[in-house]
């Protein structure tokens, strides 16, 4: 199913944009995800990490560093302001704005190159209760918008080059903040929960996600194991859209793997 969706995107963009790159790009991502699903079905423990590395490294190293495409939020604002539906605008439309209506925050679990590194840290399950710091994401979101707006208002020259260096600087800042927060709060995903500006798009869209982890109440014995292993503090036993931290689910499937009754 996932492979079909990505192939449909690949072929439509290839034909409408007359650019073979889109066929390669979305086919590669679709195949990586399909491989991950295959490995998960075969019960390979690190299936998600394999996909995360395949897609994350491709986007960071090939698209970001070699092709000089700023795929971070500043790159999205940049392409949006120039009115071009290319690179970061397509990436945001597919992975972070409209895609989450179908596959929620699959991006955060299987593709993000920031989380790809943070997930190597030792705090896979949060050691402290969640903090009320989610407001910081709106500040970083506003700062990214203000930064690119200021460049346009100042008629900055050589914007492509500035965007490349903004990509490098932004990533260094994200990694530094993510690692410091992970150790400070005993939580690998603290950056995702409190700082990441992309969640301003991801959270409301994933609220309506078609794909969800659901709980079979007939099988569930309320042991609480699923909540203990969840990196994002989701109450997955509640099937309503309003489940606690429901828009945080990254489909890591740790809850599914650990449920002793196969209820998820």
The site for ligand SF4 (CB under 6 A) is made up of 108, 112, 114-115, 191-192, 196, 198-199, 213, 215, 220-226, 229-232, 234, 236-237, 249-255, 259, 261, 263-264
User: Do the beta carbons of residue 55 and residue 67 sit within 8 Å?
Assistant: no
Whose Cβ is closer to ligand SF4: residue 14's or residue 140's?
Answer: 140
Least distance between ligand SF4 and beta carbon 201 (Å):
9
Two tokens, residue 215: 């709980």
Nearest approach, Cβ of residue 202 and ligand SF4 (Å) = 6
> Do the beta carbons of residue 233 and residue 244 sit within 8 Å?
yes
Nearer to ligand SF4, 78 or 194 (CB): 194
Q: Residue 182's closest CA among 119, 227, 244?
A: 119
Give the Cα separation of 149 and 84 in Å (integer).
16
Contacts of 176 (CB under 8 A, 6+ apart): none
Q: 78 vs 201, which CB is nearer to ligand SF4?
A: 201
Residue 85 CB-half CA count within 13 A: 7
Choose between 159 and 220: whose C-beta lies nearer to ligand SF4. Answer: 220
Residue 19 C-beta: closest distance to ligand SF4, Å: 25
Output the six-digit token pair for 44: 């390979």
Q: Considering the complex, what minimum distance in angstroms separates the CB of residue 59 from ligand SF4?
A: 11
CB 80 within 8 A of CB 72: no
Sign of dihedral through CA atoms 225, 231, 233, 235? negative
Minimum CB separation from ligand SF4 for residue 67, in Å? Answer: 20
Least distance (Å) from ligand SF4 to the CB of residue 141? 11
DSSP calls for 29-52: HHHHHHHHHHHHHTT-TTHHHHHH
C-beta closer to ligand SF4: residue 18 or 218: 218
3-state helix, strand, coil in the chain (%, to 5): 60, 0, 40
Q: Which is nearer to ligand SF4, 14 or 36 (CB)?
A: 36
Give the residue with the Cβ less far from ligand SF4, 10 or 249.
249
Minimum separation from the CB atom of position 180 to ligand SF4 (A): 14
- Name the DSSP letter for residue 69: -
């Amino acid at each position: 199913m996932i492979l079909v969706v990505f192939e449909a995107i690949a072929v439509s963009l290839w034909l409408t944009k007359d650019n073979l790159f889109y066929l390669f790009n979305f086919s590669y991502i679709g195949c990586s995800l399909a491989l991950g699903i295959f490995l998960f079905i075969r019960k390979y423990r690190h299936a998600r990490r394999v996909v995360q590395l395949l897609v994350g490294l491709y986007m960071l190293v090939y698209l970001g560093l070699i092709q000089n495409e700023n795929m971070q939020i500043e790159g999205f604002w940049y392409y949006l302001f120039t009115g071009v539906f290319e690179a970061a605008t397509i990436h945001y439309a597919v992975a972070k704005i409209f895609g989450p209506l179908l596959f929620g925050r699959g991006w955060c679990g299987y593709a993000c190159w920031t989380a790809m590194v943070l997930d190597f840290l030792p705090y896979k399950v949060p050691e402290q209760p969640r903090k009320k710091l989610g407001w910081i994401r709106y500040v970083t979101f506003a700062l990214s918008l203000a930064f690119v707006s200021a460049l346009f208002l100042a008629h900055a020259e050589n914007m492509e080059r500035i965007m490349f260096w903004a990509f490098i600087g932004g990533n260094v800042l994200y990694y530094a903040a993510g690692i410091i927060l992970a150790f400070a709060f005993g939580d690998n995903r603290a950056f995702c929960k409190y700082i990441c500006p992309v969640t301003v798009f991801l959270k409301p869209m994933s609220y309506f996600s078609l794909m969800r982890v659901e709980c079979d109440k007939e099988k569930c014995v309320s042991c609480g194991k699923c909540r203990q292993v969840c990196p994002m503090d989701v109450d997955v036993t509640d099937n309503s859209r309003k489940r606690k931290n429901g828009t945080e689910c990254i489909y890591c499937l740790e809850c599914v793997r650990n449920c002793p009754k196969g209820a998820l």
